[in-house]
Amino acid sequence: MVTENEHAVVLKGMTFMRGERTIFDAVDLCIPRGKVIGIMGPSGCGKTTLLRLIAAQLKPHAGEVQVNGQNLAELSRGKLFEARKQFGVLFQSGALFTDMNVFENVAFPLRVHTELDDELIRDIVLMKLQAGGLRGAIELMPDELSGGMKRRVALARAIALDPQILLYDEPFVGQDPIAKGVLVRLIRLLNDALGITSVVVSHDLAETASIADYLFVVGDRQVLGQGSPEELMNSQDPRILQFMQGNPDGPVPFHFKAPAYADDLLGGGRG
């Protein structure tokens, strides 16, 4: 169901925890409809977790995650299943079915969610694979593909149902420069041609900034900053500047929080 509001995704006071550790604390975030949105930040800050919350693979401990005006946490199992048809997800690992060839991997969502005949499914699969340059790999099994090829097959599967919202989790990892350039262009073309909303989580600042209309920088359990790539590059916030410029020294620590190093070495820390 598509609503007429200007935002495809809205987070209101969203809090999420893993055990005793707070990943997000009362986060407010609005993703505008029909744009390419980049979500960036230091490793371990929860970017992939945020995608899983948007796709309702995880539930927040407090607050709301609204997609097209629906609070996903309040939906029944059946209605959530229907709501998820609005999404296409490119997982970081690719997540291909290892016992299915390329064709069947891309055809899978079409077989599950539609009643199209085999001939039409074949045409759609060929079109999606052609977009990613892998139509010739249609009979190969996942273990016969390189890491980059697996990611492109996963993208073909993600767009098989022409979703309203496409979620990309590190789409550029493992791609050679040519394939990366193709993916950058494809993400932008798909977004503009289909009028969808694209949410890209990536460490690759240059590629993401080149196609994103709007960026969010997350870290320290919150949204540190948001704006156009140009606005964030000129930010005066030292946490944002450190990430955008790739500076090793700054307020964002490299080391995960831990007891004093000397205490750990001498046995005074964890056992």
Q: Domain ranges for the chain, please list them.
A: 35-43+84-252
Share the mean pLDDT of the chain.
84
The pLDDT value given to residue 120: 95
Question: How many whole angstroms separate alpha carbon 26 and alpha carbon 29?
Answer: 10
pLDDT tens-place string over residues 5-60: 688 999 999 999 988 889 999 999 999 999 999 998 877 788 889 988 998 888 99
139's tokens? 């009979």
Helices then strands, counting H and E runs in the chain, come out as 10, 10
pLDDT tens-place string over residues 227-243: 888 888 888 888 787 77
Contact call for residues 29 and 51 (beta carbons, < 8 A) = no
Query: Who's near 86: CB < 8 A, 6+ residues apart?
Result: 67, 68, 163, 164, 165
Question: How many whole angstroms separate alpha carbon 129 and alpha carbon 125?
Answer: 6
Question: How many whole angstroms separate alpha carbon 191 and alpha carbon 194?
Answer: 6
Q: What SS3 class is residue 198?
A: strand
Contact call for residues 223 and 238 (beta carbons, < 8 A) = no
- Spell 175-213 as b/e; 16+ CB within 10 A means b: beeebbebbbebbbebbeeeebbbbbbbebbebbbebbe
Residue 1 has pLDDT above 50, yes or no: no
pTM for the full predicted model = 0.79
Question: How many whole angstroms separate alpha carbon 187 and alpha carbon 119?
Answer: 27
Backbone angles phi, psi at 105, to 5 degrees: -60, -45
Q: Decide yes or no: CATH 3.40.50.300 for domain 35-43+84-252.
A: yes
Task: Output the furthest CA–CA distance in the chain (Å, rounded).
Answer: 68
Question: How many whole angstroms separate alpha carbon 167 and alpha carbon 202?
Answer: 11
Q: Binning pLDDT at 50, 70 and 90, where does residue 78 land?
A: confident
Pairing status of strand 36-40 against strand 214-219: parallel
pLDDT tens-place string over residues 211-220: 999 999 888 8
- How much of the chain, in percent, has pLDDT values that exceed 70? 90
**Length of the chain measured in residues:** 271
pLDDT tens-place string over residues 118-155: 999 999 999 889 877 888 999 999 999 887 788 888 88
Q: Binning pLDDT at 50, 70 and 90, where does residue 172 land?
A: confident
